[in-house]
Structure 1
């Protein structure tokens, strides 16, 4: 007689006898020893009536595979996941925590290429984009999920759905092909024009910022040294000089009036290293990668440019460029990797402005590498970090795309997937509730959404998010001091990041413009970024 626990394995660890439990654990131990890519968490169950022939199989705690299931390829789960009877999972498939998969469902993470009729299709090579399914997802019976699909957290795939497009977080989809039925998320996306009061409120904010620009610049200027600091009481930095230039250009249409323009130009140009052209300077913020951006654009706003060529790109061959990109920590620290690519891309832009020769093929190698390595499931480069979800991935995308595709005016490889990933990340309350926002995290979702706006994809959701974030941002301004890098809130009161300064002011002014443009009221602001955060391509 067939053991019913093979078909209802969720009852196994509560009802099976000791002998059956030992047999199951022994089978898992033997399988893991024989198959290097296999591992099992606590209280997992795999029916002996299932056909499991994976190259990689990693089951999180309390996950199970029922009788009749057929699995091949690479399958990875979080905790508390179920693969019910007669389900087929093949190819590269990764699911999060608490994903429940109904009987007779097929999740197929590969496909035949079928690129020619000269060769029978079953003889043509396979391709695999992979399938990624988030946390707390309910997949009904007889569902089909095709290769390349990403399913967001808390989604529901109704029984019989044929999923051919990415599913947003919280969406309930059904039908063939699957379409949105409704959203489980409580916030509805508004439609139509911006609220009538928003335009005047944005205009009033722009007027206030311009009227107080001199005060906030004076607040951060040390007359004795002739240098800007981010805020009173901290040391001057290279970045602070550049932030002051950006703010003055944005709000006053001129160089910071605290010093003659020529003196500011000479100082920034003089901080370049004579051998490499990197901006190291005498100040306490040695970040040559970001200085390529901030100093390069500050000099441009001042009507000048770098005094020396940037060896970062002028002395690096195409092969060396590829090796640098390969070595960056895309899968552990995607933001850090994007930070370096932003500097490389901007150094190429600066070199083109100056007329400095860049080794043959280096620029093509940079963009070719990015096109080849963009993940078609997320539209981005690298992987999420388990410690902070999508934060590293999205922030790294912003830096990478800003310095390359955006700066040079080139189309992104997977714009709709970028929108899916950014909107999923924007639902993470630990970063985007009003009292937990900081300028970096908000800018890094706003710029990608603005960059991909022409697709019209999920436009109502993008607009709803932009309206909410714009309302928040307008409330962060401190009179005559500007913006803090981090939004004030109960949890962050007293932190240095919540003190208004030049960096926060420069970044949030740009954020406000992008948000206002996404909801159609940017003209009311009376300013438009022209420096590091300029919306137009630099060339």
Structure 2
């Protein structure tokens, strides 16, 4: 030992937080060698991270962020990612697919089990297939000692889980929970006994909270019939609604609806069969998923553009819908999204510069959503997100092109056109980039101003004129910016409450939701109830309910395309803040 340390090696097994300050040069060298051995197996470690030699670390994927550690006698297996300042304390178990945000503390003897056994009565449990929905834990979460968190659970930002709890259902942000099964006790911010994303108290017996709960019960009771309605038994594929073409998105929507309302996969096939059918649709050369041909086989993609990208809007969206459906089924793409991997930073910037930001900001934002989601999928597979520097180039471009007066990218094409394209493009862009990667959006106050101004346009939001895209593209930015600012919270809540009441009234028994009136240019599937409208409106209702403060009464939380939590840790080679941003403008 040198003068910097007077403790034995075993001390750090139980007090790893002291390693950076008290370890000797010999102990630092041994830690470096241990991390190198693990890195040779595909693990990655941020600065000042620590793994006890006494821990059992047998992972397929391990990413440990800056100042994070795994203490002695912890047992860590599977695919585990952790952000900065995370701790896995002595004798804790983290197994399966587990994603931790920044500042997560896991107490001693706790277990996060991101997988599950089948246990049908026809065979021994040990012979049955495993399922892996995964566990997601947000930022600034304290999980006490002897807690068990089960597969499929999402724990929102800023939660506290009391010692000995068994967490079987999602916990909204700011929840203090305890018990077996774990139940919300209060909001950590001290705003009432029933926590919610916005901290607004629940209504009385006849209030909005009860209406939300009744709606959710009604939808759950009809979910199985709704899925059967769109299932074509003869072909073994899904249509959006009876008589409509069979599509890839319809299959993905069915998976998302089943996860939301049934917490399971659609009953028409096993989870493994659903996953295999979706995985088989991916083109191995491009990594994209084309639309189905009339005979049900994968269609043909267009020829690549000069920069290597394949311009196919439907295939672009399938990067989102198929990828997240596979997540919910405990699976993932068979191949990286190669069109993303092959795009150099120069070509990426040139493509971004060429997008129609002034005239069609939605299309521009949708392209960013696809590329960034492809990068997320590539990282998930252990591949490079894109060519070297491409992901950083994306966030650098976005950080330097945002308009500080609107908080958005692009501009309204004309006063007559209003802010529709601008705001809708903002949703798609931020969904795939800032929200998906867990980064703060620039100028959140200006975003709220712009979105509320658009949300008051009667052309899109008067009763009977709403469609799912337009309401979603206001609700999500208000929710996302609201995680960073309390600017005009009461106005956002009032808008959300009005839209929430109207949205629930659109449910059609046995059929679900229609998308709504045809969108701009006649786009969208229209008023007829189907899978797309149902999937989108269920997610919208959660966002609106969370803005109002009654989301916990729904009993579900989106975990797919419209999930509120980040899907990718910002510690993965992306700067935590692309450029200095002055939110006071």
> Which of 222, 228, 231 lines up with 1:218 in the alignment?
228
- Spell out, residue by residue over 1:407-431, the C-alpha distance to the aligned partner (whole angstroms, 9 max, x if none): 0010011111100000000110010
- Whether the 8 Å CA contact 2:200–2:548 is kept in 1: the answer is no
The number of aligned residues is: 343
Q: Which residue in the other structure is 2:496 paired with?
A: 466
Q: Which residue in the other structure is 1:352 paired with?
A: 379
Larger radius of gyration: 1
- Whether the 8 Å CA contact 2:497–2:548 is kept in 1: the answer is yes
> Which of 349, 357, 361 lines up with 2:389 in the alignment?
361
2:430 counterpart of 1:401: yes
> Which of 496, 502, 506 lines up with 1:476 in the alignment?
506
Q: Which residue in the other structure is 2:442 paired with?
A: 413
- Whether the 8 Å CA contact 2:465–2:517 is kept in 1: the answer is yes
> Which of 273, 284, 288 lines up with 1:274 in the alignment?
284
| RMSD (Å) for aligned C-alpha atoms | 1.7
Q: Which has the higher helix share?
A: 1
> Which of 436, 448, 457 lines up with 2:465 in the alignment?
436
Q: Which residue in the other structure is 1:241 paired with?
A: 251
Q: Which residue in the other structure is 1:181 paired with?
A: none
Could you tell me the TM-score, scaled by structure 1's length?
A: 0.62
2:469 counterpart of 1:446: no
- Spell out, residue by residue over 1:319-357, the C-alpha distance to the aligned partner (whole angstroms, 9 max, x if none): 111111111111110000011000011001101100112
Q: CA, structure 1 residues 348+372, in 2 after alignment: closer, same or farther (shift >3 Å)?
A: same
How much has 1:281 moved relative to structure 2?
Answer: 4.4
Q: Distance in 2 between matches of 1:266 and 1:193?
A: 44
- Whether the 8 Å CA contact 2:336–2:378 is kept in 1: the answer is yes
Mean Cα deviation higher: 381-390 or 201-210 = 381-390
Q: How does 1:18-57 map to 2 (within 5 A)?
A: none
- Spell out, residue by residue over 1:269-314, the C-alpha distance to the aligned partner (whole angstroms, 9 max, x if none): 1111121111014346961110000000001111110011111211
- Whether the 8 Å CA contact 1:272–1:281 is kept in 2: the answer is no
Q: Which residue in the other structure is 1:376 paired with?
A: 404
How much has 1:484 moved relative to structure 2?
Answer: 0.2
Q: Which residue in the other structure is 1:338 paired with?
A: 365
Q: Distance in 2 between matches of 1:192 and 1:514?
A: 14
1:452 counterpart SS class:
helix
2:298 counterpart of 1:298: no
Q: How does 1:58-457 map to 2 (within 5 A)?
A: 193=201, 195-196=203-204, 197-283=207-293, 287-357=314-384, 358-386=386-414, 387-454=416-483, 455-457=485-487
Mind listing any 5+ residue stretches in structure 2 that lack a counterpart?
A: 1-198, 300-311, 519-523, 569-585
- Whether the 8 Å CA contact 1:238–1:283 is kept in 2: the answer is no
1:250 counterpart SS class:
helix
- Whether the 8 Å CA contact 2:246–2:292 is kept in 1: the answer is no
Q: Distance in 1 between matches of 2:516 and 2:448?
A: 24
Q: Distance in 2 between matches of 1:407 and 1:269?
A: 22
2:436 counterpart SS class:
helix
- Spell out, residue by residue over 1:421-454, the C-alpha distance to the aligned partner (whole angstroms, 9 max, x if none): 0000011001001200000000000000000113
Q: Distance in 1 between matches of 2:536 and 2:348?
A: 30
2:356 counterpart SS class:
coil
Q: Distance in 1 between matches of 2:326 and 2:293?
A: 18
1:342 counterpart SS class:
helix
Runs of 4+ aligned residues of structure 1 deviating over 6 Å after TM superposition are none
- Whether the 8 Å CA contact 1:467–1:519 is kept in 2: the answer is yes
Q: Which residue in the other structure is 2:132 paired with?
A: none
Could you tell me the TM-score, scaled by structure 2's length?
A: 0.57
Q: Distance in 2 between matches of 1:255 and 1:283?
A: 25
How much has 1:388 moved relative to structure 2?
Answer: 2.4
- Whether the 8 Å CA contact 2:203–2:210 is kept in 1: the answer is no
2:550 counterpart of 1:521: yes
Q: CA, structure 1 residues 356+239, in 2 after alignment: closer, same or farther (shift >3 Å)?
A: same
> Which of 511, 526, 529 lines up with 1:500 in the alignment?
529
- Spell out, residue by residue over 1:462-513, the C-alpha distance to the aligned partner (whole angstroms, 9 max, x if none): 011011011111111101110000069xxxxxx9611100000000000000
1:436 counterpart SS class:
coil
Q: Distance in 2 between matches of 1:274 and 1:353?
A: 17
Q: CA, structure 1 residues 522+469, in 2 after alignment: closer, same or farther (shift >3 Å)?
A: same
- Whether the 8 Å CA contact 1:236–1:283 is kept in 2: the answer is no
